[in-house]
Every structure is written in C-alpha cells, then in structure tokens.
Amino acid sequence: MSTALPVSLDAEAPRTYQVRTFGCQMNVHDSERISGLLDAAGYVPVPESAGEGEADVVVFNTCAVRENADNKLYGHLGQLVGAKRANPRMQVAVGGCLAQKDRDTILAKSPVVDVVFGTHNIGSLPTLLDRARHNRQAELEILESLDVFPSTLPTRRESVHSGWVSISVGCNNTCTFCIVPSLRGKERDRRPGDILAEVRALVVDGAVEVTLLGQNVNSYGVEFGERGAFADLLRACGTVDGLERIRFTSPHPAAFTDDVIDAMAETATVMPQLHMPLQSGSDTVLRAMRRSYRSTRFLGILDKVRDRLPHAAITTDIIVGFPGETEEDFQATLDVVEASRFASAFTFQYSIRPGTPAATMPHQVPKAVVQERYERLTALQERISGEENRALVGSTAEVMITAATGAKADATGRVSGRARDNRLVHVAVPAGARGPRPGDMVTVPITAAAPYHLIADPAAGRYDLRRTRAGDAWDRAQAESCGVPAGTPGAGSAARSGAVALGMPGLPVRV
C-alpha cells in the first residue's frame, strides 16, 4: 500500500474541507452526506469560490461511467502535490464509484491520497481521516455491500428550498454498457415510512421541492415485494403539507407502468416532467445493450404520459456509437428522437468501460464515426429543443428562483429558476418591484426562448411574486452565516446556505 505524505498532528484551528463532485445526481446527494459527516466531525467548509488546495481536507466523490473519469481524477490529484507540500495539515480522500472500482490502484498511482473509501461506506470517512492522520499512512476501506443506508447519515444540503431523497440504492438491471450495478450493488429499497419521514423533515427545514432518487425508481418495492409501491409513494408524498413540487429520477422504460402515470396526473404536486432514458432508438442495439424494451414500447409510454399530462417536458439519455451500431441503427435513433420531441437530451459518446460486457464486444465503432454521429444527433436535438421552447413564448410560467444564476446575470440583472416542467428560466425583475429570494415563486410571461433556456422580461403588471417558507428559510440561513438577506434584483447570486440536517428524524410516521 502507498504511504501518504506526512501530516502534522498539531490540533490548531478547526480543519477546513472541500468536496468535489463528479457524476450523477446520486453522487451529488452522496456529497451532501459527506459534507454533513464532516460538519458533524467538527470540520469547517471553505467557501465555494476557493480553489482546490485551499482546504485542509479535499474529498473527491468520483464517477466511473465515462471513459475519462480516471484521467480527470488523476489530473486533479496532480494539481494538489504542491499544495500538500505547503500545508502539512492537508489530507486528500477519494470516494465514489471510481474508488469502489479501482481501490488500491488509486493509492499506487497518487502518493497525495490519504484515504480511499467506497460507495457502501461513506459513513466511515471521518474515522478513516483520523486513522490516516494518527498512523501517518494511507487508509483504504472498501465494502462489498451497504453497511448503513446513506439517508441515515448527517447531511449538508445544497439548498434550503430543494432536497434529494434516496428511495433506493443499487440496481438489478444488467445493461451491458453500465458498470454501476457492480459498484453500487443490488437494489436496496427504503421503507415508505422512512422516506416520508425524511420528506417531512425537509419540509420542516424549509424545502418546498423534493426529488426522489434511485438508479431505477419505478422498480421501487421489489425488495419488499410490493407491486405499485412507487405509484403509492408518489401519492403519499403528495399529501405532505407544505410540499409544493415533487420530482423523480430516473425510471426505466421496461418497468414503467400505467399506475405511475396515473399517480403523476392525479397528484397535484408531482411536476409535469419526466426523465426517461432512451439510450438508443434501434431495437437491435437495445437488444445488445440488454435493455428490455423496444422503441415502440418507449414511444407508447410517451404517448400515454402526454395524454394524461399534455404539457409535460420529457428529457432523456442517449448513447451514440454502441458496439455494432450501424448507420441504419443510428438513423433509427434519429427517427425516435424526432418523434419523441424531447425538451432536452443528455447525449453521450460510447466509451469502453473495463469490466462491462460491452467492453469486449466486436465491431467497436471508430471514434471518427461516433463523433460525426454525435454531432448530427446534438444538432437535431438542439433544433427540437429550440422549437419546443419557442412554442412556449407568450405562455405563463411559475418559476421557483434558485441561488444559481446565468452566465450573463451581471449584465442582464436577471435571476434564474426552474419552471414546473423543470425548464430553466431567466427572469428580469421590473424596476421598483421586490426581488425574489431563492425558494420564492414568481409567475411571469415567457417573452423569449433559446434551445437551453427561456427568458421572462415581464412588464410591471405581469410580475407576480409569491414569497415562500423556503425564501424565509434562506433568509435565516443567510443571517446565521452573516450573509445579507435577499430582496433586491440579482440577489439570487448569493451563496447557497448549506443547511445541515442530522440524518433521519426519530418521529413516528403513519403511512
């Protein structure tokens, strides 16, 4: 095992930390847990604007899905060599899917790393950091199965107005391109009462929106043998007083059932939005991917969703250049994309992931061909996204303002947020009007559109601000951190609050 660089044992000022996240929403949520654990252990977060190397502890929460994941990690680790020499208190930890996969390879390749931990033992991080400091050597701990469900751990939430809630971890599917099941294990489902307790606790803390998370949310209930459990969970979340917006990601088309569509349509707080991964429009490629649905099934689901929720925005994931993909196969993908009218799509060029069945398949598609197809696909989706967004000009949208702002916010003075269908909207606050805080709702007309966002520049009489509990919670968090409460145009650019919740509440819950 590699030996970490020496670290001083002097206990001076509280140690500071920084968490860097790569990957999906599950990783983002795991990073909230990592931050909460470090908070509870007495560490202090550095400002988000701080560069890597300015904290005493730097944690990389990694992803292993893309081909360049390891190169990205080692590039960041290399940049910390000088910082670690200059700061004897500094420790570097690597967790997440890449850590679960590569294990001691990370220690062998990078002498700056003090701790490597996996996807199943996030809760061990503070202990591993202490042990590495005490023993003056690197610590590696990878578990093959979950020891503690992550949602029981302390959490530093990214925002006060929205929260992630894991309903399951792991995946029972065997897609040939995906390494996630081998890294996160078989599906483990939480009991509905525990989920609802966490949702209610988030609402008490000020959240008005939750997103239910799982590798395959609509197979929820398989572990405890309840068909229809996910639809029931959506309806139950809809009864939580004070919760205004419910989202979920991601479902699997093969397991997507009509009762979920009914629950979406009949539960007012479930947002008119659906992320439904397509991956390919070719039935031949879907079969090779071991995706247990075909393009007609996929399009049929979209038709049913739009019949019940006519204004739903549907997004997707697509892989270009899967082994054996012919031009005819790719054209089938283009045809399904054209028919689906996605609001947006996350498009990926296939990359070999060692350990997956697809990695050793014959007929790997040449990089130049993949690139050319990828460019055609993104151009098609950009056209469709632009057309779909422009069709909304003149309509009215309720936008929940977030702390994040657009790249041109300083010049335009616009704040940013998400419509009910999750489209990004940049909103101008009319002169003399009261500005929204993150978590507040504004109802405004859409005045312009681009493929990736909408713009609302309302006249004074068309700007309706509704101040919310979430905005009040944001004000309180700002005051506690010596920030300045919002209330003026552009206030959405203020730093996120970083609210902390200490795991699951010990409250009796009726389901």
| DSSP secondary structure letter of residue 500 | E
* Residue 24 annotated as binding site: yes
Q: What pairing do the DSSP bridges indicate for beta strands 115-117 and 91-96? A: parallel
C-alpha distance from residue 479 to each of 16, 44, 152, 470, 500 (Å): 21, 18, 28, 14, 15
Q: Which amino acid is at 443?
A: T
Beta bridge partners of 401: 417
Contact yes or no for 501/155 (Cβ under 8 A): yes
171 annotated ligand-binding residue: yes
Q: Is 237 annotated as a binding residue?
A: no
DSSP designation for 98: H
Helices 327-340, 295-308: axis angle to 10 degrees equals 10
Cβ-Cβ contacts under 8 Å for 100 (sequence gap 6 or more) = 64, 118, 119, 120, 142, 183, 184
Q: What is the DSSP annotation of 260-315?
A: HHHHHHH-TTB-SEEE---B-S-HHHHHHHT-S--HHHHHHHHHHHHHH-TT-EEE
Phi/psi at 386 (5° precision): -65, -45
Tell me the torsion sign for CA atoms 31, 480, 39, 46: positive
- Other Cβ atoms closer than 10 A to 59: 26
Token match 């190169």: residue? 71
The letter for the amino acid at 149 is: F
How many beta carbons lie within 10 A of that of residue 357, not counting itself?
15
Neighbours of 23 (CB within 10 A): 20
Q: Across 137-182, where does the E strand assignment appear?
A: 139-141, 155-156, 162-166, 168-169
196: phi then psi, degrees, rounded to nearest 5: -65, -35
482 is in an annotated binding site: no
Contact 438, 405 (CB under 8 A): no
Cis peptide upstream of residue 166 (ω within 30 degrees of 0): no
Rounded to an integer, what distance in angstroms lies between the CA atom of residue 406 and that of residue 399?
15
Binding residues: 24, 63, 97, 171, 175, 178
Binding residues for [4Fe-4S] cluster: 24, 63, 97, 171, 175, 178
